[in-house]
Structure 1
Amino acid sequence: MTSTDTLSTQRSTEEVVRHHLASLLDGNIDRILTDYDDCTTVFTPDGPVQGLAPLRQLFQNFLDQLPPGSLEKLEVSRQDIRGDSAYLLWRIPGLFALGTDTLVIRDGKIRLQSFAIAAN
């Protein structure tokens, strides 16, 4: 196990969520993907996405559709963490009235995620 693997397995659910949000706000896809691995499945309204290459495309498409500066307006109104699971309720005023993510985190990685948004 490398030192990076050791760090991943030692991260709590809260630490992974915090890192994921910070990486998303930075718009740094490489950093976002460090929270996932090839076994991760993300359920989206368009169907499930699994593996790092498809996840890279998913995040690239999401970030590409955002107007410049819109992530700075992200408001997380609810964040619940229970054991290895987390639920986020968020919005981006003027763009998305509602966004929701549910994550299951094991060994410091997001293993399963559901994601949905409702535009304004």
Structure 2
Amino acid sequence: MNRCTEEVFEDHLNLRREGKLEEDLKRNYAEEVVLLTSNSNLQGHDAIRYSARKLREQLPDGHFEYVAKQVRGNFALLIWRAKSSRFDAVEGADSFVIEDGKIRLQTIHYGLVKDHSRNL
């Protein structure tokens, strides 16, 4: 039995909060998932691994806040922001197409800023 869009979306978010990337890939992502960002157009689980690694490098010890979530039919949207010792992420937006219980497409966009009020 396939899970609905909201179930896949929430499972994805929970596993990411727990740092369980490989479990997230296995349970929630199609093997041929497409990942689109402002500077990449990639496909497959390795694309998601690459993106997660890049985010960890940009936002080490990142504290993420989910600002808003929307689900309609096969589509989901996450608005987020994050703070870390290196950068803060602003205006984060991930969109998803979820079909047959798997994420088939993910788009990611966010901006990075340095918080100059902190001693880094």
TM-score range, shorter chain: 0.7 to 0.9
Q: Is the 8 A contact 2:79 2:91 kept in 1?
A: yes
Structure 2 alignment gaps of length 5 or more: 114-120
Indicate the RMSD between aligned Cα atoms, in angstroms. 1.6
TM-score (norm 1): 0.80
Structure 1 alignment gaps of length 5 or more: 1-5
Please show how residues 89-108 of structure 1 align to structure 2 within 5 Å: 89-93=79-83, 95-108=88-101
Identity of aligned residues (%): 32
TM-score (norm 2): 0.80
Q: Is the 8 A contact 2:35 2:47 kept in 1?
A: no
What is the alpha-carbon distance in structure 1 between the residues aligned to residue 82 and residue 52 of structure 2?
16
Is 1:84 aligned to 2:77, yes or no? Answer: no
Identify the structure with the greater helix proportion: 1
Is 1:74 aligned to 2:74, yes or no? Answer: no
What is the alpha-carbon distance in structure 1 between the residues aligned to residue 47 and residue 69 of structure 2?
26
The one-character-per-residue Cα deviations of 1:33-72 (angstroms, maximum 9, x if unpaired) are 121122210101112110122322222222233222x2xx
